[in-house]
């Protein structure tokens, strides 16, 4: 593997590191005096060192404000801080890695496997257990990330275990209301009692139990993330029945106002607004993507 480490030059302020320093102090680590932040890029050896250097200079490093090393053991401009390494877990989407892979392709280089991490070097009088507890709250999201305090980078890419098919059925037919709620919570389905009873009735009519995959598919499709149950839900407000909260409020008012500078609204998850006679601004906001970045 090849390792590229990128850090801010000593004479340039690192706002991200300063923010983490503040967050760690607020989390109880009053002894922290400084945090150094290092961006880490792991590449498989499908690319040679010269190609890695080209990729680093073209795509990874701000030549004015940052330094970098390739395949070095120590991070750039490293102090004596305690290392905290954060990496995406295997099987989790990494949009930065996907964009980087695309950029490498445009350079005429066959993209290698890529894994991206964040290294924090925490300086000061800090207890190891307190550092671990605070960092798990401040710098990592353990739903989608793994965190290490050993100071060593992985030497290989994680490989999934061989897949062996096993059909697993989840018996629902005779479960009580309380048992349905326990099942929803245990399997992190996030379905309420009405929804669980609907699923139970559906499979009771089919005369069989759902498989674990079917049940998870229903839970994902019926989730707030996919269905927008609140935003597009039925609401009774002051005696008025609103069938779709979004469409009958923000959406409806925007259409009624019909401003000429709003060129495109509520189409394809983005809005296009006129800037002048020749240019427009396109803005996109994802309503809730964190931490649900786990691939199916």
Cα(105)–Cα(134) distance, rounded to whole angstroms?
39
Cα(191)–Cα(197) distance, rounded to whole angstroms?
10
Cα(68)–Cα(61) distance, rounded to whole angstroms?
7
* pLDDT tops 50 at residue 77: no
Using pLDDT thresholds of 50, 70 and 90, give the confidence band for residue 74: low
Q: What pLDDT score does 268 carry?
A: 79
Mean pLDDT, residues 243-257 taken together: 90
Cα(35)–Cα(46) distance, rounded to whole angstroms?
33
Cα(184)–Cα(191) distance, rounded to whole angstroms?
6
Q: Which residue has the higher pLDDT, 232 or 274?
A: 274
pTM above 0.75, yes or no: no
DSSP E strands in the chain: the ranges are 2-8, 32-43, 66-70, 82-88, 114-124, 145-148, 235-237, 240-242, 262-267, 270-274, 280-284
**Both tokens of residue 127?**
């207890």
Cα(157)–Cα(169) distance, rounded to whole angstroms?
33
Using pLDDT thresholds of 50, 70 and 90, give the confidence band for residue 252: very high
Q: Which phi-psi region, left, alpha or beta, contains residue 13 (left: φ > 0; alpha: ψ -120 to 50)?
A: beta
Residue 271 · residue 265 · CB < 8 Å: yes
Partners of 4 in the beta sheet?
41, 70
Residue 295 · residue 93 · CB < 8 Å: yes
Using pLDDT thresholds of 50, 70 and 90, give the confidence band for residue 286: low
* pLDDT tops 70 at residue 149: yes
pLDDT digits (tens, 9 = 90+) for 96-146: 999 999 999 999 999 999 999 999 999 998 888 999 999 999 999 888 899
Share of the chain above pLDDT 70, in %: 94
Instruction: Note the Cα 129 to chain centre separation in Å.
Output: 26
* pLDDT tops 50 at residue 166: yes
Q: Which residue has the higher pLDDT, 231 or 29?
A: 29
Q: What pLDDT score does 288 carry?
A: 56
**Both tokens of residue 36?**
């150094």
User: Phi/psi of residue 108, each to 5°?
Assistant: 85, 15
Q: What pLDDT score does 202 carry?
A: 97
Q: What pLDDT score does 39 carry?
A: 95
Q: Which residue has the higher pLDDT, 148 or 162?
A: 148
Whole-number Cα distances in Å, 232 to 225, 243, 251, 289 = 11, 8, 11, 17
Mean pLDDT, residues 135-163 taken together: 88
**Both tokens of residue 232?**
């597009």
pLDDT digits (tens, 9 = 90+) for 169-214: 999 999 999 999 999 999 989 999 999 999 999 999 999 999 999 9
Whole-number Cα distances in Å, 236 to 175, 223, 232, 240 = 31, 21, 13, 6
Mean pLDDT, residues 53-80 taken together: 81
Using pLDDT thresholds of 50, 70 and 90, give the confidence band for residue 295: very low
DSSP-assigned letter for residue 294: B
Q: What pLDDT score does 215 carry?
A: 96
């Amino acid at each position: 593997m090849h390792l590229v480490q990128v850090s801010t030059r000593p004479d340039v302020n690192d706002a991200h590191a300063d923010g983490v320093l503040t967050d760690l102090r607020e989390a109880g680590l009053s002894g922290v005096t400084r945090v150094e932040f290092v961006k880490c890029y792991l590449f498989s050896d499908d690319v040679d060192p010269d190609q890695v250097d080209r990729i680093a200079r073209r795509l990874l490093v701000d030549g004015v404000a940052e330094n970098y090393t390739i395949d070095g053991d120590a991070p750039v401009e490293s102090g004596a801080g305690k290392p905290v390494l954060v990496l995406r877990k295997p099987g989790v989407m990494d949009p930065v890695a996907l964009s980087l892979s695309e950029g490498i392709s445009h350079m005429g280089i066959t993209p290698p496997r890529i894994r991206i991490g964040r290294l924090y070097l925490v300086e000061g009088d800090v207890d190891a257990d307190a550092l671990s507890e605070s960092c798990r709250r401040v710098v990592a999201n353990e739903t989608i990330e793994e965190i290490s305090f050993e100071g060593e980078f992985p030497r290989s890419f994680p490989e999934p275990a061989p897949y062996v098919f096993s059909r697993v059925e989840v018996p629902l037919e005779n479960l009580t209301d309380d048992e349905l709620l326990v099942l929803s919570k245990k399997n992190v389905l996030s379905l309420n009692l009405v929804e669980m009873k609907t699923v139970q009735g559906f499979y009771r009519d089919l005369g069989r139990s759902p498989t674990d995959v079917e049940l998870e598919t229903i839970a994902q499709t019926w989730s707030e993330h996919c269905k927008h149950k609140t935003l597009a839900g039925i609401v009774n407000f002051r005696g008025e029945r609103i069938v779709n909260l979004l469409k009958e409020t923000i959406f409806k008012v925007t259409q009624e106002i019909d401003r000429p500078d709003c060129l495109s609204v509520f189409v394809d998850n983005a809005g296009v607004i006129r800037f002048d006679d020749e240019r427009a601004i396109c803005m996109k906001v994802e309503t809730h993507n964190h931490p649900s970045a786990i691939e199916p």
